[in-house]
Amino acid sequence: MNLKYLIGWSSALCLSAIIAQAQETNEVDKLDQRLKQIQESFEKQQREMRENFERLIREQQAQIESLKKELANIPTNAVAAPTNAAPAAAVTPEQLKELNTKVDGVVDAQRQVRPGAFNPSIGLVGETVFSYRSKGSDQIGTDRPGGFDAFQRSVELNVAAAVDPFAKGYAVLNASADAQTGEATLGVEEAALQTTSLPWNLELKAGRFFGEFGKLSYIHDHELPFVNRPLALDQYIGGESRTDGAQLNWLLPVPHYVSLTTGAGVGFGGDSPLNNPGAYRALSGFNYYGRLSTYFDLTPNIQLETGISGLINPSTQDRGGVLVQPDGSTLTEKERRVAGLDLKVSYVPLRNNQFQRLDWGTEVLYSDSRYLFNPSGSLDPANPTHTAGWPAPSPDDYYGNVGSVGLYSYATYKWHRQWSAGFLFDYMQSAENHNDVTVAYSPYITWALSHWNQIRLQYTHTDHNAVSGLHPDDAIYLQWAWIIGAHSHGWQAR
Partner 1 sequence: MKSTLFRLLSAAIIGAAALIPSPAQAAKVRVVTTLTDLADFVREVGGDHVEVFSLATGVEDTHGVPMKPSFVPVMNRADLVVCVGFDCEHAFLPALLEASKNPRIQYGKPGYVDCSLGIAPVDVPKSTDHSEGDVHPYGNPHYMLDPVLAKTAIQNICQGLVTVAPQYQADFTRNRDAYLAKLDAKIAQWQQESKALKGVQFVSYHEHWSYFAERFGLKYIGTIEVKPGIDPTPRHIENLVTEMRADHAQMVVREPQFPEKVPALIARQTGATLVKLPIMPGGVPNTSTYIEMMDYIIHTMVAAEAKRG
Q: How far is the CB of 5 from partner 1 (least distance, A)?
A: 11
Is 163 a binder of partner 1 (CB under 8 A)?
no
Is 8 a binder of partner 1 (CB under 8 A)?
yes
Alpha carbons 127 and 149: distance in angstroms, whole number: 14
Is 305 a binder of partner 1 (CB under 8 A)?
yes
Question: To 5 degrees, how large is the angle CA 233–CA 238–CA 244?
Answer: 120
The widest CA-to-CA distance across the chain, in whole angstroms, is: 117
Is 113 a binder of partner 1 (CB under 8 A)?
yes
Is 109 a binder of partner 1 (CB under 8 A)?
yes
CA-closest candidate to residue 436, choices 425, 444, 427, 445: 427
The answer to whether the CB of 321 falls within 8 A of the CB of 303 is no
Instruction: Name the one range near partner 1 by CB under 8 A: 268-276, 294-302, 308-316, 404-412.
Output: 294-302
List 54, 92, 105, 441, residue binding partner 1 (CB under 8 A):
105
Give the list of residues 6+ apart from residue 132 with CB closer than 8 angstroms, or none: 147, 148, 149, 475, 476
Is 60 a binder of partner 1 (CB under 8 A)?
no
Single-letter amino acid, residue 331: L
List 15, 49, 62, 466, residue binding partner 1 (CB under 8 A):
15
Is 353 a binder of partner 1 (CB under 8 A)?
yes
Alpha carbons 403 and 329: distance in angstroms, whole number: 18
Is the CB of 116 or the CB of 278 nearer to partner 1?
A: 116
Alpha carbons 384 and 77: distance in angstroms, whole number: 94
List 64, 204, 339, 348, residue binding partner 1 (CB under 8 A):
348
Instruction: Name the one range near partner 1 by CB under 8 A: 54-62, 78-86, 401-409, 410-418.
Output: 410-418
Is the CB of 261 or the CB of 317 nearer to partner 1?
A: 261
Is 380 a binder of partner 1 (CB under 8 A)?
no
Q: How many residues bind partner 1 (CB under 8 A)?
A: 64
Is 52 a binder of partner 1 (CB under 8 A)?
no
Residue 58, CA distances (Å) to 71, 96, 102, 122, 171 in order: 20, 23, 18, 28, 34
Residue 300, CA distances (Å) to 157, 244, 293, 304, 306 in order: 37, 39, 20, 11, 17
Is 71 a binder of partner 1 (CB under 8 A)?
no
Stated length of the chain = 494
Alpha carbons 96 and 68: distance in angstroms, whole number: 10
- Name the residues that contact partner 1, by CB under 8 A: 4, 7-8, 10-11, 14-15, 17-18, 21, 24-25, 28, 38, 42-43, 46, 102, 104-106, 108-109, 112-113, 196-198, 201-203, 251, 253-257, 259, 295-297, 300, 303, 305, 348, 350-355, 416-418, 450-452, 484, 488-491, 493-494
